[in-house]
Amino acid sequence: MEKASITIICAVCGQEFRHTRTCYNRDDATRYEDWARDNITVCPACYGKAMRAKDRAKLDAQTAEARKVIEGMEFSDLIGTEKQIALASDIRARAAAILKPCGGNAKFWERFNNITDAKWWIEHREYMSMGPRTIARYIITWIPERSPDTPC
């Protein structure tokens, strides 16, 4: 085993960073170093930042699309901090857009709307982006007694 190791200057932040990889032998390591010199141009921190920005842009586009699908639907106000409400409102909009084509009766949507705890939407965000059956199952099994709206 040989270690390929080169120093690269990040094209984004200008910081020098070390890129290493374990190779089979010196020839492989040299070949890899040559390849890496031309192809690895961004440090791990900047790469991570760029990937997160890309994910964010994708999610924003999905949210905008979802808001078009649910246009005209009324939802109750969410309860939480400003930040929680903004985040939960997007998650809920995307979930509603997934559910809308399935129909759902008034009782189902009432239940959907009764989940006003922003934290609930945030905690269930992973499930809320799954298929309509999964989302509906979580909405239906939601226990109103746990809602902060319910007295006692």
Q: Which is nearer to Zn ion, 37 or 146 (CB)?
A: 37
Q: 89: which residues sit within 8 A by CB, 6+ positions away?
A: 75, 78, 118
**Residues at the contact surface with Zn ion, assessed by CB under 5 A:** 10, 12-13, 43, 46
Q: How far is the CB of 13 from Zn ion (least distance, A)?
A: 3
DSSP character for 79? B
Q: How far is the CB of 47 from Zn ion (least distance, A)?
A: 8
Q: Which is nearer to Zn ion, 6 or 23 (CB)?
A: 6
Cα angle 118-119-125, degrees, rounded to a multiple of 5: 95
Q: How far is the CB of 16 from Zn ion (least distance, A)?
A: 10
Q: 92: which residues sit within 8 A by CB, 6+ positions away?
A: 75, 78, 115, 121, 128
Q: Which is nearer to Zn ion, 48 or 131 (CB)?
A: 48
Q: How far is the CB of 8 from Zn ion (least distance, A)?
A: 10
Tokens linked to 152: 């006692």
Q: Which is nearer to Zn ion, 12 or 86 (CB)?
A: 12
